[in-house]
Amino acid sequence: MDSIQSLYQSIREGSTTPISLLDKYLERIKLIDPIINAWEFLDLKQAKADAIIATKEIASGLNRGKLHGIPFGVKDIIDVNDWPTRAGCMSLGYEKPALF
């Protein structure tokens, strides 16, 4: 995988966009996660909306910093509004939802 610095440079140079990066990483998750079972939850709708906004902002010259437009994951031990916080614990009485 690419470093954040190289992704930042690619976005700024226009050789990639936040939308294409998100698509790349979602394809990787779809391919690998059935094997490693690392992802509990993906907010696909919000991720896609955010990638579209970031792509438009960057194209217009707005630069919010080195993480602007870079997809990232949040470990499920961190409370995020409207996301499940499960700490990877099966004893919480849930079934893992389908990611896609």
| pLDDT averaged per 10 residues, the chain (length 100) | 90 96 96 90 94 97 95 84 76 62
CA–CA separation, 68 and 55 (whole Å):
9
Residue 31 maps to a domain: yes
Residue 97 maps to a domain: no
Give the pTM: 0.81
Residue 98 maps to a domain: no
Question: Which three-class secondary structure state does DSSP give residue 83?
Answer: coil
Structural domains counted in the chain: 1
CA–CA separation, 7 and 13 (whole Å):
10
Residue 24 maps to a domain: yes
Residue 100 maps to a domain: no
Angstrom distances, CA of residue 65 to CA of 15, 24, 44, 74, 85: 18, 21, 23, 19, 28
What is the model's pLDDT at position 60?
Answer: 96
Tell me the Cα Rg of the chain: 15
Q: What is the extent of the structural domain holding 36?
A: 4-92
